[in-house]
Amino acid sequence: MDHLQCIRTFVAVAEAGSLAAAARQQEVSAPTVTRAIALLERRLGAPLLVRTTRSLQLTETGEQYLGDARRVLAELDAAEAAVTGQRQLVQGRLAVTAPELFGQRHIAPLLFEFLDQHPQLEARAFFSNRLVHLIDEGFDVALRIGQLPDSGLTAVPVGSLRVAMVAAPAYLARAGRPRTPADLARHRIIGFSIEGQGRVDWQFPGHKSMRPPAERLIVNANGTKVAAAVAGQGITRALAYQVTDEVRDGRLRVLMRDCEPPPVPVHLVYPAGRLATAKVRQFVQFAAERLRTLPVLQGRGLEPPRRTGSGQGTPG
């Protein structure tokens, strides 16, 4: 077995989580996979996997080598596809990642439709609030919400999202309605925390940035944060797509619209630029066209509900 095939086998084992699964994926025998890993470890002079009867784990060296191996294989596949013309075929496996709630609501339906259009394509979807490293973790396309770092990835803008403060009518009836950022100090706040990320200052145009008020409740899932606000637990900040339905049907009210920070940009990003394969280029084009029609990405979708029969808007 040549060295390149050993590397591909190692990546397959790491992604599948077992030798047997990787063997089935590559349509070879389990002993062939075991021999490929042994040859690679002997060549590198270091163990890449720790194997027991019940589990398989990467060593620290294996974790580091996996990221480099994925990057090299991705670049090699893109270069070969560009020469052979295979980059025109929508086939193989497409790996897509996005923030959890946005992915569930807006990316998953697009992916289902794209799969229906391309029967030779397989897909892997991973929706998580942590920042996923595309190349090291083997993803083709990501949806990113927020300012983009200078990463070398190709970025396609699809819109932007308002950052709104919301609370339930029942809570506002009890605690009153804040009119300025200073008023938040006397309110219950529902916070949001992502593992490994610190608290971020709240920005209010025309006011000094401030540390978030003391949170009565902190959660790590956007769905839970919104549910807490609907249940009257306090005020929270949310990206527009997270609360569109709740605002539209009156379960949440948008507060201090004049104090909202600038909208947050949204992009589809992918590596390889012009060498991207057909599955990546066509999915990005398809998804970008659909996403740009979403009202919530065009600054709409947080309008207050209409009063039945009066034709007048409810106070927002």
Q: Which two tokens stand for residue 97?
A: 């990642």
Q: String of b and e for 163-185 (b: at least 16 CB within 10 Å)? A: bbbbbbeebbeeeebbeebeebe
Q: Which of these three, 210, 230, 259, is where a domain ends?
A: 259
**105 and 231 housed in the same domain:** no
**224 and 281 housed in the same domain:** no
Indicate the pLDDT class of residue 116, thresholds 50, 70 and 90: very high
Inside any domain, residue 310:
no
CA atoms of 87 and 252, how far apart (whole Å): 47
As a whole number of Å, the end-to-end CA separation of the chain is 67
What is the chain's alpha carbon radius of gyration, rounded to the nearest angstrom?
24
**271 and 250 housed in the same domain:** no
**72 and 215 housed in the same domain:** no
CA atoms of 177 and 97, how far apart (whole Å): 38
Most confident of 53-67, 157-171, 257-271: 157-171
**154 and 167 housed in the same domain:** no
CA atoms of 10 and 29, how far apart (whole Å): 14
**167 and 230 housed in the same domain:** yes
Inside any domain, residue 313:
no
For the chain, how many structural domains are there in total? 3
Structure pTM?
A: 0.69
**188 and 223 housed in the same domain:** yes
CA atoms of 95 and 115, how far apart (whole Å): 12
CATH number at residue 45: 1.10.10.10
Q: Which two tokens stand for residue 39?
A: 């040859």
pLDDT, one tens digit per residue, over 74-114 is 777 767 766 665 556 677 889 999 999 999 999 999 999 99
**173 and 217 housed in the same domain:** yes
Inside any domain, residue 236:
yes
Contact between 29 and 23 (Cβ < 8 Å): yes
Inside any domain, residue 76:
yes
Inside any domain, residue 209:
yes
CA atoms of 308 and 314, how far apart (whole Å): 10
pLDDT, one tens digit per residue, over 227-244 is 999 999 999 999 999 999
Inside any domain, residue 302:
no
**150 and 274 housed in the same domain:** yes
Task: Give the pLDDT of residue 56.
Answer: 84
**167 and 155 housed in the same domain:** no
Q: Which residues have CB under 8 Å from 50's CB, separation 6+?
A: 56, 57, 58, 59
**253 and 272 housed in the same domain:** no
CATH number at residue 204: 3.40.190.10
Inside any domain, residue 13:
yes
Which DSSP category does 231 fall into? T
Q: What are the beta bridge partners of residue 217?
A: 190
Q: Which amino acid is at 121?
A: L
**271 and 149 housed in the same domain:** yes
Inside any domain, residue 289:
yes
Contact between 142 and 154 (Cβ < 8 Å): no
Task: Give the pLDDT of residue 165.
Answer: 94
Which DSSP category does 105 fall into? I
Which DSSP category does 103 fall into? I
pLDDT, one tens digit per residue, over 9-68 is 998 888 888 888 888 878 888 889 899 999 988 999 989 998 876 778 889 898 888 888
Range of the domain at 13: 3-84
